Structure formats: structure tokens, C-alpha cells
Amino acid sequence: MKPVEIYTKSYCPYCKRAKELLRIKGVSFVEYDVTDDPRKEQEMRGRSGRETVPEIFVDGRLVGGCSDLFDLDEKGELDELLGLSVPPRGSAP
């Protein structure tokens, strides 16, 4: 598995959804709660170029926010991005 980092705020429902999807997939992640941490929030903005949460990074690369994470999952691309074992296409589960 590749390292996953997620910047969150404690009251953000999108942050909760994104973290739940990662948990369902069995992915561990480092969470940076920027609710009361202006320095960490500034770091997030510098890394992502965005001001909203969540901001999700996989292997140091910006994936985006919650909707971006779910879009990748719906396209079937998230497992590969996360470095999870993916059965070859066309094979039975």
C-alpha cells in the first residue's frame, strides 16, 4: 500500500465520508486535523493549492477531495492508485 495523507476538519461531513471509504478499503492513513491549526492548514493550502477540506494525498501526490476520491473508486481506478492488490481484468472474484 502507498502512504495516504488526508487533511480534515472535525465538523466536515465530506472528510468523514472520505475517511470511511479509505477504512472500508482497509487503507491506513495519516490524518491532519486543521480545525484549530492554522499552520497545518497553511501547509495544506501550499501543498494542494486549494482551500477546502478534505485534501487527500496518495504517495505524496494530490488526489483531491472527497468527490475526487469517490470518482476514482467508481471508475475502478482507486484500488490501483492506493496500491491495493487488484485481480486481473476479466477474472472471476
Q: Is 58 helix (H, G, I), strand (E, B) or coil?
A: strand
Consecutive sets of 10 residues in the chain, 93 residues long: mean pLDDT of each? Answer: 94 98 96 97 97 97 97 94 73 52
pLDDT reported for residue 93: 52
Which three cell numbers mark 84? 491495493
Q: Where are the domains of the chain?
A: 4-82
Q: How far is CA 53 from the centre of its chain?
A: 10
pTM: 0.88
- Alpha-carbon gap, residue 21 to 54, rounded angstroms: 13
Name the CATH superfamily for 4-82.
Glutaredoxin (3.40.30.10)
